[in-house]
């Protein structure tokens, strides 16, 4: 018996379950995706950390930070990185397909229905109401993400936020050009601000 195994009878943490196979990865990501109305991340954390215990909370945060930092849909990146850590390339593909294929079928079905019935007056009225509420939800998420910056009163961050908002939202400039200018600028001023604070 290995010396580091917990003594029998002690009610310690139950051992982490075996890592999932490719099919289990597909099913797990399909489930969290189909549960995820208005964002899958919450369900991904619940499934991976709490339910299956495939990762600790810290490992999950670290993985998500990497995915948030890379371009592209964060949750799609997360599925690929998680799948790769567990089962390599085929694990990545299984998680990616599990996340995207089932909701893609649903959304495409809705697209077909919309193409046929989108002009029906009753449906038009419903969609108008839903889209107004959906914009409100987006504004609320944005506000919640902005709060920490407002509380910490980081003028540099707030100025960058307003610059990007004005360039892309008000002036409607193309995103690639705006980011190619503001990413180096933001990294530069953040670095300077940190250095000044450190000295």
- Cβ–Cβ under 8 Å, residues 140 and 148: no
Min dist CB 158 to other proteins, Å, is 7
Phi, psi of 74 (to 5 degrees): -60, -40
Whether 137 and 38 have beta carbons less than 8 Å apart is answered as: yes
- Which of 11/72 has CB closer to other proteins? 72
Structure tokens at 14: 């139950």
Q: Least distance from C-beta 163 to other proteins, angstroms?
A: 7
Q: How far is CA 110 from the centre of its chain?
A: 23
- At how many degrees (to 10) do helices 155-164 and 121-152 cross? 150
**Smaller CB distance to other proteins: residue 6 or 166?**
166
Smaller CB separation from other proteins, 6 or 123: 123
Judged on CB neighbours under 10 Å (0-12, 13-18, 19+), 85 is middle
Distance CA 93, CA 84 (A): 8
Q: Please measure the distance between the N-terminal and C-terminal CA atoms of the chain and give it in whole angstroms.
A: 54
Which CB sits closer to other proteins, 23 or 191? 191
CB of 40 to other proteins, least distance (A): 5
Cβ-based neighbours of 75, under 8 Å, separated by 6 or more: 39, 40, 41, 44, 67, 99
Task: Rank residues 20 and 33 by Cβ distance to other proteins and give the closer one.
Answer: 33
Quote the least distance from Cβ 85 to other proteins, whole Å. 7
Rounded least distance, CB 189 to other proteins, Å: 8
Alpha-carbon span 14 to 142, nearest angstrom: 39
Nearer to other proteins, 51 or 107 (CB): 107
Residue 125 C-beta: closest distance to other proteins, Å: 4
Question: What does the block give as tokens for 68?
Answer: 């948030």
């Amino acid at each position: 018996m290995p010396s580091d195994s917990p003594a029998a009878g002690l009610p310690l943490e139950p051992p982490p379950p075996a890592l999932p196979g490719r099919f289990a990865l597909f099913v797990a990501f399909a489930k969290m995706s189909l549960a995820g109305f208005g964002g899958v991340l919450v369900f991904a954390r619940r499934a991976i950390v709490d339910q299956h215990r495939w990762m600790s909370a810290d490992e999950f945060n670290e993985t998500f930070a990497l995915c948030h930092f890379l371009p592209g849909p964060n949750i799609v990146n997360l599925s690929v990185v998680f799948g790769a850590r567990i089962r390599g390339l085929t694990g990545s593909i299984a998680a990616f397909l599990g996340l995207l294929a089932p909701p893609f079928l649903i959304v495409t079905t809705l697209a077909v229905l919309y193409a046929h019935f989108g002009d029906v007056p009753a449906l038009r009225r419903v969609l108008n109401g839903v889209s107004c509420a959906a914009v409100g939800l987006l504004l609320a998420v944005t506000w919640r993400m902005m709060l920490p910056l407002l509380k910490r009163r980081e003028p540099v961050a707030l100025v960058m936020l307003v610059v990007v908002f004005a360039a892309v939202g008000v002036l409607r400039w193309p995103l690639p050009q705006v980011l190619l200018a503001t990413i180096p600028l933001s990294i530069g001023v953040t670095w300077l601000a940190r250095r000044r604070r450190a000295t």
